Amino acid sequence: MRSVEDHLALITSAAVMPRPVKVAISEAQGLLCAEEVVTERPLPGFDQAAVDGYAVRAVDVVEAGQPAPDDLDVGDTDVDIDAAGEPMMVKLPVVGEVEPGSRTPTRLQPRQAVRVETGAPLPTLADAVVPLRWTDAGVQTVRIGQSVDSGAYVRRVGDDVQPGDVAVREGMIIGPAQVGLLAAVGTSRVLVHPRPRLSVIAIGNELVDIDRVPGPGQVYDVNSYALAAAARDAGADVNRVGIAERELSRLREVVEAQMIRSEIVVLCGAVGGAASRAVADALGELGDLEIVRVAMHPGSVQGFGRLGRDDVPTFLLPANPVSALVCFEVMVRPLIRIALGKRQPMRRVIKARTIGPILSVEGRTGYLRGQLMRDERTGDYLVQVIGGSPSGTSHLLAELAEANCLIVVDSDTEELRTGDEVDVMFLAQRG
């Protein structure tokens, strides 16, 4: 029996990033950048106001807010005071207004002010902006109650990015900030590693699609829908092929067709015994699909191989929907995340204390459905197994739908008591 770690190492060694392609930046979010995006022009491209207010020369408002001296000439038209020792207000004529997007050059003369909005081009000779809240918001004349330093509340040319700077580096995951920066420097398309293409194929003569009524001995095809959803959640570009005939030559044709369009192929069903050997034999011309027993539960028996001329990683997962989804979480999802360039391809694992006994299978790592919660008083994580028994072995899909975590029980542990500490793997958060 192969350990989970050894089987996972075999799988992750097959991870290959898809070849880079150019995409619109609106489609690049979450993808791995495959080039160094070098800026050709500065950002901002011109001196601009960082706040709503008045563009001024800092030297013209240096007296604003200072205590008035005893010998100040109260007839000075540029200064307004109530009495000696009180803060002075500097009065300047307002000679214009500039809005964002203005293309008309504005020139400021000494002892003047220009009303500006955030993002507006700074008038010539102006070297600072007085925020609106420090003024009386005058229209023809403005009274300014606080001085500013040169450069205050101004975004200078190239403050953010200079020509030749790298805006987005190769190997960086493109998130909202990177998309915004690419737009800001005028890059409409970027080279990325695309999402890995994954095909899901269900195998079984007993399966019918959900738009048909099952006959005697037939069941709905659950796995191709569930696994396709899990693959999308992991970040793959998914093709749900649906149900493939178990007739071996036809199955080989279906799988071979998906090798051309996929970086990963997932088959589900026909695991164990003669059925799995027949599937492996049918795909023998494409490569070696190894059926192994992995030291985990549920989903001990599973298959993996690299098939086709491109050595496409190919999985054979159990027919049971719960086992299939657990195997996908543990084995397939990390491969997708690695192909996406994620630095942490595994789900987050934390420690939690059990609030009831948990049984597992000695010699196998258990991945049991659980509900994770937080103790309001201590802040500790608490977890309980979902199901009618402490082992949580019931293969009910409804129970997995209620789970927000997988309880990871070591292979050398057969029983956990109430209050014991255990590893817990977060699943996707529900709203």
Summarize pLDDT for 252-269 with one digit per residue, the tens: 899 999 999 999 999 998
Q: Hey, what amino acid is at 158?
A: G
What's the confidence (pLDDT) of residue 235?
92
Bigger pLDDT: 315 vs 392: 315
Q: What does the block give as tokens for 219?
A: 């069941």
Query: Which of 88, 62, 58 lies closest to 73 in space, CA to CA?
Result: 88
> Going by DSSP bridges, is the β-strand pair 381-385/349-354 parallel, antiparallel, or unpaired?
parallel
What's the confidence (pLDDT) of residue 206?
86
> What's the rounded mean pLDDT across residues 102-124?
92
The angle subtended at Cα 378 by Cα 376 and Cα 384, nearest 5°, is: 70
**Separation of alpha carbons 55 and 135, rounded Å:** 12
Q: Is the pLDDT of residue 78 over 80?
A: no
What's the confidence (pLDDT) of residue 72?
59
Return the percentage of the chain with pLDDT > 90, whole number: 58
> What's the rounded mean pLDDT across residues 228-255?
90
Bridge-partner residues for 297, per DSSP?
366
What's the confidence (pLDDT) of residue 394?
47
Residue extent(s) of CATH 2.170.190.11 domains in the chain? 48-155
**Separation of alpha carbons 44 and 103, rounded Å:** 15
**Separation of alpha carbons 78 and 46, rounded Å:** 30
> Counting every residue, how long is the chain?
431
Question: Which pLDDT band holds residue 77 (cuts at 50, 70, 90)?
Answer: low
Provide the CA 377 distance to its chain's centre, in angstroms.
32
Query: Which of 120, 118, 150 lies closest to 132 in space, CA to CA?
Result: 118
pTM, rounded to two decimals: 0.76
Question: Which pLDDT band holds residue 171 (cuts at 50, 70, 90)?
Answer: confident
What's the confidence (pLDDT) of residue 431?
43
Are 360 and 416 contacting, i.e. CB atoms less than 8 angstroms apart? Answer: yes
> What's the rounded mean pLDDT across residues 375-380?
88
Architecture of domain 21-43+159-193: Alpha-Beta Complex (3.90)
Question: Is residue 224 classed as helix, strand or coil in its secondary structure?
Answer: helix
Provide the CA 189 distance to its chain's centre, in angstroms.
20
Q: Is the pLDDT of residue 393 over 70?
A: no
- CATH for 48-155 is 2.170.190.11
Query: Which of 55, 51, 59, 50 lies closest to 159 in space, CA to CA?
Result: 50
Q: Strands (DSSP E) along 50-148, which ranges?
A: 53-56, 79-80, 89-98, 113-116, 128-131, 141-144
Q: Is the pLDDT of residue 141 over 90?
A: yes
What's the confidence (pLDDT) of residue 315?
96
Residue the block writes with tokens 């997708």: 336
Q: Is the pLDDT of residue 70 over 80?
A: no
Query: Which of 415, 429, 293 lies closest to 366 in space, CA to CA?
Result: 415
- Lateral strand order in the sheet of 32-33: 21-24, 189-193, 32-33
Question: Is residue 305 classed as helix, strand or coil in its secondary structure?
Answer: strand
Q: Is residue 335 within a helix (H) or strand (E), and if so which, with residue range?
A: helix 333-339
Residue extent(s) of CATH 3.90.105.10 domains in the chain? 21-43+159-193
What integer best gives the mean pLDDT of the chain? 88
Q: Is the pLDDT of residue 3 over 70?
A: yes
Q: Is the pLDDT of residue 75 over 70?
A: no
Q: What is the pLDDT of residues 329-375, one digit of tens each?
A: 999 999 999 988 887 888 999 999 999 999 888 899 999 989 999 98
**Separation of alpha carbons 288 and 10, rounded Å:** 14
Q: Is the pLDDT of residue 275 over 70?
A: yes
Q: Is the pLDDT of residue 41 over 80?
A: yes
Question: Which pLDDT band holds residue 382 (cuts at 50, 70, 90)?
Answer: very high
What's the confidence (pLDDT) of residue 74?
54
Residue extent(s) of CATH 3.40.980.10 domains in the chain? 4-18+195-340
Question: Is residue 207 classed as helix, strand or coil in its secondary structure?
Answer: strand
Q: What is the pLDDT of residues 176-187, one digit of tens each?
A: 999 999 998 889
Lowest average pLDDT, out of 112-116, 197-201, 217-221, goes to: 217-221
Q: What does the block give as tokens for 314?
A: 């190919």
Residue the block writes with tokens 């050709």: 40
Return the percentage of the chain with pLDDT > 70, whole number: 93
Provide the CA 404 distance to its chain's centre, in angstroms.
19
Q: Among 3.90.190.20, 2.60.40.10, 3.40.50.1820, 2.40.340.10, name the CATH number for the domain at 349-426.
A: 2.40.340.10
With b meaning 16 or more CB within 10 Å and e meaning fewer, what string describes 78-95?
ebbbeeeeeebbbbbebe
Query: What phi and psi values does residue 352 have, to the nearest 5 degrees?
Result: -140, 160
Class assignment of domain 4-18+195-340?
alpha beta
> Going by DSSP bridges, is the β-strand pair 128-131/53-56 parallel, antiparallel, or unpaired?
antiparallel
Q: What does the block give as tokens for 431?
A: 């709203």
Are 239 and 224 contacting, i.e. CB atoms less than 8 angstroms apart? Answer: no
